[in-house]
Amino acid sequence: MAGPSSSVELRDGRVRTLDGLAAEAGASLVGTAGMAMLGPRFPLLAKLIDAAEWLSLQVHPDDELARDLYGPQAVGKDEAWVVLEAAAGTRMVVGPARTLSAAEAMALVAGGAMGLESCEVRPVRPGDTLDVRAGTIHAIGPGAFVYELEQPSDLTFRISDWGRPPTPERRLHLAEAARAVEPSLHAELAGTGWRLDGGALNGRRIRLELVASGTAALRRPAGRSPEVVTAVAGPVTLAGAGFREQLAPLETAVLPAAVDACEIVADDGAVALVGSLPR
């Protein structure tokens, strides 16, 4: 996982958190876009999710609602999923059933009565990418191994935990969810077969690019955004002025915004997932 509280090893051997480094380095790490968005805080979170059973049915707030509920430093959560592995029959919840009216969907959310039969459920395959905006009802199904790129937020409102008993650490958030849900939103398929439609997923708060079995130079305005690079299904090499790093499968590296240029090489069968801030 790479995110604000993640510990990272610097080239000089020191171990720090990304937020700690951002507080010291400012724009040289997070870029001008990062400073404009969140100030000296690391603006991205990348993680891996291995689902053995249905994860909770949930929704995330947008920035406006997060700050209304939790104060000016709170952050909402737009996210993107890349399906790395999927067992036969693996499915995802990508929104409310399209047969429901907005009022019907909201009543089910507020009453804690939304189940799979009330949801749009999509089969997924390895290489599928989905754009999941804040306000979208969603859930990851069993058999899925997923890379998730998102805003650096832990705000998750559970609508259902599929009958599992609630605990203080894992409770439902029906009132908050009712404020966060946008019933017209559905997670949108942004690419299949390890390719993204239009070459990149350029969302409101995150940008995702894929380099599959080939070489690519990062094309970005220098100093604007950091990149979070994760190797999938094989090794990936990062090379730039004065550095060369090889990432083993599922390893992640953070490229500071101050890095002038970088070439990414994904060996045969490998994929590099590159998260950054939108342009």
The whole-angstrom separation of Cα 217 and Cα 249 is 20
Catalytic position from the list 158, 207, 220, 224: 158
118 three-state secondary structure: helix
- CATH class for the domain made up of 204-276: mainly beta
Task: Per residue of the chain (279 residues), give pLDDT as tens.
Answer: 666 767 666 667 777 799 999 999 999 999 999 999 999 999 999 999 999 999 999 999 999 999 999 999 999 999 999 999 999 999 999 999 999 999 999 999 999 999 999 999 999 999 999 999 999 999 999 999 999 999 999 999 999 999 998 888 889 999 999 999 999 999 999 999 999 999 999 999 999 999 998 888 876 778 999 999 999 999 999 999 889 999 999 999 999 999 988 999 998 999 999 999 998
The CATH classification of domain 45-192, taken from the options 2.60.120.10, 3.30.70.141, 3.40.50.1240, 3.30.110.70: 2.60.120.10
Cα 207 from chain centroid? 10
Rg (CA), the chain: 19
Same fold yes or no, 45-192 and 204-276 = yes
The letter for the amino acid at 224 is R
The structural domains of the chain, with segments of one domain joined by +, span 45-192, 204-276
- List Cβ neighbours of 198 (8 Å cut-off, separation of 6 or more): none
Q: Is 158 a catalytic residue?
A: yes
Q: What is the DSSP letter of 198?
A: G
Q: What are phi and psi of 33, to 5 degrees?
A: -70, -40
Strands 236-240 and 263-266: antiparallel
